[in-house]
Amino acid sequence: MNIPEELKYTKSHEWVKECEDGTAYVGLTDFAQSELSDLVFVNLPEVGDDVEAGETFADVESVKAASDVYSPVTGTVAEINEELLDAPEKINEDPYGAWLVKVENITDTVDLLDCAAYEQLLEEEA
């Protein structure tokens, strides 16, 4: 299972890339996409929407199930990855490249895991 060292993770299997300008990219981990299997639909918030740490901000659907995606941070949606709306398979192909949203004005964060802690979580869940 691919778990890049430079990213932070949530217990609900999202990854966060914290940028130097205070913004953050959020996506689904390799484990999440492999559990969900082939994604067929992605529902993203709109630019300008507020997201809240620990609350759902998007949902994804595979042939197996529909699943909520939880925001690791509180802030405002600065950008969404519109490409995913037409090509949800990009999340399966490149989970760490296929970010869902970029969040700015971040005021709060859930407890994030580093690569080692996330790896341990996956082991416990397996």
Residues that bind other proteins (CB under 8 A): 38, 40-41, 61, 63-65, 88-89
What's the token pair of residue 87? 């090509």
Instruction: Give 75's Cβ-side CA count (13 Å radius).
Output: 24
**Would you say 52 or 61 has its CB closer to other proteins?**
61
Q: Are strands 101-109 and 66-70 parallel, antiparallel or unpaired?
A: unpaired
Smallest gap from residue 30 Cβ to other proteins (A)? 17
CB 67 within 8 A of CB 88: no
Smallest gap from residue 63 Cβ to other proteins (A)? 5
**Would you say 1 or 41 has its CB closer to other proteins?**
41
